[in-house]
Every structure is written in structure tokens, then in C-alpha cells.
Amino acid sequence: MNGNIKAYYPFEIKKLDKEEYAEVFKHFNGDTGTIEDFIRVGPKGYWFISGFAEEAPKIYNMELRPDDVWVISYPKSGTTWMQELVWQVANDFDYAKAELIPLMQRFPFLEFALFFNGEKAQTVLGRNEKDKAFLDAMSKSFDQVSSMPSPRFIKSHLPLSLLPPALLDSCRVVHVARDPRDVAVSYYHHYHFFGYMGYTGNFKHFWNLFIENKLDWTPYFENVKESWRMRDHPNMLFLFYEDALRDLPSTVKRVAAFLGKAVTEEQVSRLCDHLAFDNFKKNKSVNFEAIKEISVVNKDGSFIRKGKAGDWRGYFDEEMMQQAQRWMEHNLRDTDLRFPTVE
Ligand code: A3P
């Protein structure tokens, strides 16, 4: 693309007024957080750290390849788990390669650079050589995806509307969705794990930010419903985290059928073992433990944390449960999307 021509981008990118959002900013530590300013994008007002402004047009206009395989989701919906599942099925169960090359390289996170654009990230993460190397690599996530050999495996948390318009007609896309109450709990822990997010509030406040659409990639329901609406498209496979927890072999078989791969019971069984929570948590290629070397990641947390459905019950008081009920009913009134419950 000619550097002088501004890439076409159909959506308005609005910088948020700090005064108006003072309540949100109060709970982010400006000294260590890269979360210093935010934007809302497009008619649904998707919320991002301002670093997304630089990535948005590049991503919207990116070149697609027919053999690309995408995993998309709202954050904390079991994306990493699905990425490994999809990659293994698509690569004929190449466990040796998977052990050698971290998932982050085999299946890069398209818009990851949004956290690392701008001066603030340089100050926060520019502290030692390891930080700098990480910052350097991650701030090039778009180029990393663009220059990957085919077939590419691409992770994104963006809703379909912010991805290239021809995506579904060109490539295969797996969307994984999870009960938003568990997503919120998982996300809260994620914000603590990644200390550079700078969140200092409690879970109740975090939950309110989540349902008021004041956290990255919110509004949650708009993101999920955009994919749900396209679930019958031949290039879309819509999966639930809860279904995978309850019956992983069926999920593996659905993915295999979607990717046109014949699999044996033995292969399915071995993959399920590879993906089982306790094994996954120990697996250095997928568990993000290496990221703890970065100075602003908490050493006592972990990315592969608990892996349960319904864990939210331990975090919600009566008021929050009712609020969640109302919020979910309101957002599900115009759709037949329903989350499978696992007790
Ligand atoms: P919890 O924080 O609730 O444990 P993402 O990859 O989208 O960020 O999702 C992370 C969530 O998926 C975390 O949820 C994590 O523990 C869970 N997860 C990761 N691997 C898993 C596995 N093998 N089995 C079940 N859950 C898993």
C-alpha cells in the first residue's frame, strides 16, 4: 500500500473525553498502565485502547488468503484452547512442531499491537532487554501475520464488522463463545495477571465496567451476536466453551469436519488428552508462562487459570446476579442465541 494514501476505513474513531469517563479512569493506575486513553469505534461503539486506531484500517483492508484459518472470540472465552485444537487438527496432529514453536507464533494475535503502540507502552515496557524485545515483537503483530507462510492461523478478538468484509466468503472462521459471567471473572483475573493493564478496582466495579461496555473489545454481546448471526455460513463454525468442556471429543470432531479432515477415534482421544486442562496448563507452548519474564506481568497469576463453567457464582452477590439476569435477558431478546449451561 502506498504510504501516502490513507487506508479506507468506514468507521468513526472517537477519542473519549476523560472528564466524562473519570469514574473508569479512577480505577486504572496511570503510572504502570498502558490504559491511558481509550477510543470507541463504529456505530456499536466498540471500546479499545487508543493504540487500535493505528491497527484498525490495516486490519480492515488486509489481504486474505483462501487457506487462512481464523479463531475469533470475545477475550477469555477459551480462545487459546480452541486455537491449539484447531491448529492440531489442521496440522495432522504435529505435536513435535507444536512443542517446538509457541502457539503465539504458530497462531498469532492479529491486533496485539494495539497494546504496544504509542509512547506510554514504550515507557512502561521499555525497562529491560526482555521487555524491549517483547515490545518490539508484539508491536509488529500485523506484519507478523502478513508475512506468515500459508496456511496462516490467525487469532482475533475483533467482531466481524471490524475485520475485512470479505472474511467469511474467503476463509474459514471458528468463533468460540462463553457465558459472559464467566468471561467477566476470567477477564478480571487477566487484568491482574497482565499488570500493565493497570486495573486497581475490585470485581464488582469491573463487572459494571463490563456490562456498561467500558472495557476492551466491549460491547460483549454485539461481538458474539455478529458471529452468531453468521453461524449458518459454510465458512463459520460457532462453538461454545461450555460444550467443549462437557464433551471435548465432539468439539474436536466438529472442528475436523469443518476443516475437511478425517480423524480416527485414537487421534481424537490423544488430542483430548493433550488439551485436558491439567496438561494444557503445563504445556509451555500454550500456557504463556514465558510472558512472566516481562516486568509488568504478575508472577503469581497464570493465563490458564481454572478452566471451569459456572465459577462466576463465587464472585456475584445477589444484586449482581439479578443485574446479570436482566442484562442477559435484555441482550438476548432479539436473538435465539442461548448459552449451554453446565452445572
Ligand atoms: P479461566 O480464567 O476462567 O480459568 P482465552 O484463551 O480466550 O483468554 O480464555 C482463557 C480461559 O480459558 C481461562 O479461563 C482459561 O483457564 C481457560 N482455558 C484455557 N485452557 C483450557 C483448557 N484446556 N480447558 C479448559 N479451560 C481452559
DSSP structure string for 156-170: E-S-GGGS-TTHHHH
Q: Which residue has the cell 517446538?
A: 100
**Ligand 1 proximity of 81 Cβ (cutoff 6 Å):** yes
The model carries a pTM of 0.95
In a domain, 199, yes or no: yes
pLDDT at 70: 99
In a domain, 343, yes or no: no
The string over 91-112, giving b where at least 16 C-beta atoms fall within 10 Å of a residue's C-beta and e elsewhere, is: eebeeeebeeeebbebbbbbbb
In a domain, 234, yes or no: yes
- Per the structure, the count of domains in the chain is 1
Q: How confident is the model at residue 35 (pLDDT cuts 50, 70, 90)?
A: low
pLDDT at 37: 79
In this structure, what CATH number is given to the domain that contains residue 162?
3.40.50.300
In a domain, 299, yes or no: yes
At 177, is the secondary structure helix, strand, or coil? Answer: strand
Residue nearest to ligand 1 atom 8, measured at CA:
76
In a domain, 8, yes or no: no
Q: How would DSSP label each residue in 70-136?
A: EEEESTTSSHHHHHHHHHHHHTTS-HHHHHHS-HHHHS-BTTGGGGT-SHHHHHHH-SSHHHHHHHH
Average pLDDT estimate for 100-129: 86
Q: How far is the CA of 11 from the centre of ligand 1 (A)?
A: 32
**Ligand 1 proximity of 203 Cβ (cutoff 6 Å):** no
Of 150, 140, 135, 161, residue with least CA distance to 55: 140
User: Which ligand 1 atom is the nearest neighbour of the CA of 75?
Assistant: 7
In a domain, 292, yes or no: yes
Name the more confident of 151 and 130. Answer: 151
In a domain, 7, yes or no: no
Q: How confident is the model at residue 165 (pLDDT cuts 50, 70, 90)?
A: very high
Among 94-108, 126-140, 262-276, name the one with the lowest average pLDDT: 126-140
**Ligand 1 proximity of 290 Cβ (cutoff 6 Å):** no
ipTM score: 0.99
**Ligand 1 proximity of 205 Cβ (cutoff 6 Å):** no
**Owning domain of residue 32:** 16-332
In a domain, 341, yes or no: no
User: Which ligand 1 atom is the nearest neighbour of the CA of 276?
Assistant: 23
